Amino acid sequence: MSFNFFSHEHETLRNACTEVTSSDDSDVCNLGSINFGRVDSISELRRIVELGTKFLLCGTKVAALPYEKVYDVRGRNRRLGLGVMGLHEWLIKRGKSYGPSRELKRWLSVYANESDNAADKFADTLSISRPVAIRAVAPTGSIGILAGTSTGIEPIFAVSYKRRYLKGRKWLHQYVVDATAQEMIDLYDTKPEDIETALGLSGDYERRIEFQADVQDFVDQAISSTINLPKWGSDGNNPDMVMGFASCLAKHAHRLRGFTCYPDSSRGGQPLVSVSYDEAKSKLGEEFEEAVEAHDVCAIMDRGGTCGA
């Protein structure tokens, strides 16, 4: 769902992951992310935010674009998307639960203020238009893996899980320990059972929504984030709970720019299923054949899409 309230009512155009918002056709945004999990002090954060903002602004001068209108819109808007990743690592590193934190708000305030100041001052130095927007939080799935940290504002999805995939014409699965979770265990001597996860928090959706709203207060575009929910028809997600969920979302909606949720098992044969850390560790490297559910969309289609050729 896209929320465009108050001064943002006209910003209805979004990119694929929904974190960039605009009212201008053919707009572009130069995205980049700061790894909060590996920043050790506010003074270091100030310097990194300044350099990151300047780097992205320089990109708006030199990046090649597909056609003239995009150049025109970019020249007017200079839209940046300095984002964050590793927020869950930042919390784990400090022994904090996943959720709102006064200390994190101080850090996010530095992130917002320093990027605003750096963008305006450096644009003036370069004699170009000041950016109309500066911050957006992308999913950072691939770069989060490369950096060995949690993605975007998300909690770690699962410490360990069973991963399902198609090999030839057979469905197989392997047991996996999440690389980021293992790094948190190794770096900070964290117990696997103490790491809060997206699946573990599926029954506490208000904490997820409130945390996204808290971060959104410091982001002038939007945040790409998916809130996991229990399976529909379960004790944690059923018709009796719909009004409570709707009321919770309405309570925080005025502070959000968008909202996405995924109830467990919404898609037949979903690829990841959480398992215990000990179980996954004991079966690492093995490959198991798996029966396919009759309603699996890949089995119905037989070929194509992400199901493989």
Residues 89-138 have pLDDT tens digits of: 999 999 999 998 999 999 999 999 999 999 999 999 999 999 999 999 99
Task: Tell me which of 31-45, 50-64, 122-136, 256-270 is least confident.
Answer: 256-270
Q: pLDDT tier at 265 (50, 70, 90 boundaries)?
A: confident
- Residue range 188-192: average pLDDT? 94
Quickly count helices (H) and strands (E) in the chain.
Answer: 10, 10
Give the pLDDT confidence score for residue 302 in this predicted structure. Answer: 55
How do beta strands 288-289 and 272-274 pair?
A: unpaired
Q: pLDDT tier at 273 (50, 70, 90 boundaries)?
A: confident
Give the pLDDT confidence score for residue 70 in this predicted structure. Answer: 97
194-197: long-range contacts, CB 8 A cutoff, minimum separation 24: 195/92, 195/156, 195/159, 196/97, 196/98, 196/155, 196/156, 197/155, 197/156, 197/157, 197/158, 197/159, 197/274
Give the pLDDT confidence score for residue 301 in this predicted structure. Answer: 56
Total domains present in the chain: 1
Distance CA(202)–CA(190), nearest Å, equals 21
| DSSP letter for each residue of 275-300 | --HHHHHHTBT--EE-PPPTT-HHHH
Give the pLDDT confidence score for residue 200 in this predicted structure. Answer: 92
DSSP three-state, residue 159: coil
Q: Which has more pLDDT, 248 or 2?
A: 248
Distance CA(242)–CA(154), nearest Å, equals 23
CB within 8 Å of 295: residues ≥ 6 apart: 268
Give the pLDDT confidence score for residue 158 in this predicted structure. Answer: 94
Give the pLDDT confidence score for residue 194 in this predicted structure. Answer: 95
Q: pLDDT tier at 1 (50, 70, 90 boundaries)?
A: confident
**130 occurs within a structural domain:** yes
**Domain limits at 302?**
6-307
- In 10 A of CB 238, how many CB atoms? 12
- What pLDDT, in 10s, does the model give residues 227-244? 999 999 999 999 999 999
Per-residue pLDDT for 254 more than 60? yes
**274 occurs within a structural domain:** yes
* Secondary structure letter of residue 134 according to DSSP: -
Give the pLDDT confidence score for residue 294 in this predicted structure. Answer: 43
Per-residue pLDDT for 284 more than 60? yes
DSSP E strands in 129-169: the ranges are 160-167
**1 occurs within a structural domain:** no
Give the pLDDT confidence score for residue 4 in this predicted structure. Answer: 87
Give the pLDDT confidence score for residue 309 in this predicted structure. Answer: 47
Per-residue pLDDT for 298 more than 60? no
| Mean pLDDT across the chain | 92
In this structure, what CATH number is given to the domain that contains residue 111? 3.20.70.20
Report the alpha-carbon angle 264-33-134, nearest 5.
110
Give the pLDDT confidence score for residue 238 in this predicted structure. Answer: 97
Which residues on adjacent β-strands are paired with residue 22?
13
Distance CA(115)–CA(47), nearest Å, equals 10
Confidence (pTM): 0.89
**87 occurs within a structural domain:** yes
Give the pLDDT confidence score for residue 102 in this predicted structure. Answer: 95
Per-residue pLDDT for 292 more than 90? no
